[in-house]
A and B are shown apart, each in its own frame.
Chain A
Amino acid sequence: MTKEYLISITQFCTHHQVEITFINTLKDYGLIELIDENDDYFVHQDQLPRLEKIMRLHHDMDINLEGIEVIIRLLQQVEEMHNEVTSLKNRLRLYE
C-alpha cells in the first residue's frame, strides 16, 4: 500500500480534536480499519469519508456506536437499493 494514501491517526485526532481512544473504539466495533506500520496507526484515505461520517453521526446527533453500526449498514442497503432502482428504471424504458 502506498504510504502517501495513509493518514496518521495521531494527526487526524489532533485536527479533529478527538481522543485516539475514540478511534480505537471504532476499530474494535469493526466500523473502520486501521493500518499498523511500525507501531504507528494509519487510516487509508479511502476510509476518511466513512470515518468523518461516523464522527458526524456521533457528535451531531449523539448516536451511540451500536446505533452508528446499524445506520451505516442501513445506508449501505439504501445505496444498493438506489442503484437497483436506477437499473430497473433504465430497463423500464424498454417498455415505454
Chain B
Amino acid sequence: MEFIDYYKVLGLTKNATEADIKKAYRKLARKYHPDLNPNDAEAEKKFKEINEANEVLGNPENRKKYDQYGKDWKHAEEFEKARQSQRQQRSSQQGSQFQGNFNEGDFSDFFENMFGGGGRSYRSRQVKFRGEDYNAELHLDLMDVYTAHKRTLTVNDKNIRITIPAGVENGQTIKIKGHGGPGMGGGPNGDLYLTFVINNSTRFKRDKADLYLDKEIDLYTAVLGGEITLETISGKVKLNVKPGTQNDAKVKLKGKGFPVYKKEGQHGDLYVTYKVKIPESLTTEQKELFTKLAKL
C-alpha cells in the first residue's frame, strides 16, 4: 500500500484553503466526472482519486488527521482505534444511515486503512434510490448470433438466463432491465447493459444483415459459363455462372445473408464476388491452344 498525496491529486499545496480545495475539486470533477465521460475507464479511475482526495481534504477532521499522520499512516492505527470507539457510540445513538454513491471498492487501500468506512458521510445526501447500472461485455462468435438462443450468464454471482436475439451486431449494447445493482429503500434494481463483442472467423464479411463472400472460379467457367456449388451461411446452393463473367463481377443471392435483428424470419442478402483464377503453369498443349486462340 502506497502513500497517496491527496494535495497533489487535486493540484494543491498543503496550505490550500477550504475554498481552494472546493474549487480544485469542482474543476477536476467537471473534467473527469463519469457522467461526462461515459465508457472511459481512465476518467472513472481519475474521478475516484479526486473524490477520495476531496473526501479527505474537504473534511476538516479528516484533513487534520491526514496532515498529522499522512506520510506515516501506519502509526494512525492507534488514533483510529480511539476514533472507532467514539464512532460506535455515535452510531448506536443515531441508528444506521444510508451510504453514499460509492462502494467499498471505490476507495484506495490507503484510504480504507486510515479512515475506515466511516469517513464518507459527505455523500450521504446522495442516497441511491435506484440500483447501480452494470456494464458487461459478452464475447461471441458470429455463428452464435445466427440464431436466437438462450444463454445463462453469471453477473455478480447470480445466474441470469437471457435470450440472445439473432442478428445482434458487433458493438451493440442491449439493456437487461432489473439485473443491475439492488435498489435501496425499496427502489428498483439498476439495469445490466450488455455489449456484444462478436468475433467473425468465418469466410463471410458482414455489414448488418448483408454478407459478402469472394468465390474463386476457374478461367474456363468464367469464359464459357457453368454451374458451381457455393457454401452459404445456411448451406450449399448451386449457382449458374454466366458465360463471359468478368473478374470481380458480383451476384446477389437474395435472402441468403444474416438474420435481420428483431425481425423474425427476415434475412439480408449474400453478395458473391467472383475471383477469376488465371492458370499459372500451362502444359505445352495448353500453351499452344492459348496461342491459337490469341491469333484467331
Contact = CB atoms under 8 A, between A and B. Distances in A.
Contacts of A38: none
Given A57-B35, A61-B26, A78-B38, A91 B207 contact: yes
Interface residues of A, number: 30
A94 interface: yes
Interface stretch (B9-17, B76-84, B125-133): B125-133
B26 A53 contact: no
Contacts, number: 71
Contacts of A78: 38
A86 B127 contact: no
Interface in B11-63: 26, 29-30, 33, 35-36, 38-39
Name the prevailing secondary structure of the B interface residues. loop
Nearest to B35: A53
A92 to B, nearest CB: 10
State which size class the interface on B falls in: 20 to 34
Contacts of B172: 86
Nearest to A48: B130
A71 B130 contact: no
Interface string A49-93: 100110111011111000000010001001100100011011101
Nearest to B271: A94
A4 B200 CA distance: 42
A93 B187 CA distance: 43
Contacts of B36: 57, 71, 75
Interface string B125-148: 111011001000000000000000
A17 B30 contact: no
A45 interface: yes
B30 A61 contact: yes
A16 B127 contact: yes
A62 B200 CA distance: 46
A67 to B, nearest CB: 10
A71 B171 CA distance: 24
Contacts of B200: 93
B129 A75 contact: no
B205 A93 contact: yes
A41 interface: no
A57 B34 CA distance: 10
A36 B30 CA distance: 34
Contact of A56 (B26, B35, B191): B35
Given A15-B185, A57-B35, A61-B33, A89 B130 contact: no
B221 interface: no
Interface of B: 26, 29-30, 33, 35-36, 38-39, 101, 125-127, 129-130, 133, 169-172, 184-185, 187-188, 191, 200, 205-208, 212
Q: Nearest 8 pairs between A and B by C-beta?
A: A86-B171, A15-B129, A94-B205, A48-B130, A61-B30, A53-B35, A15-B127, A61-B29
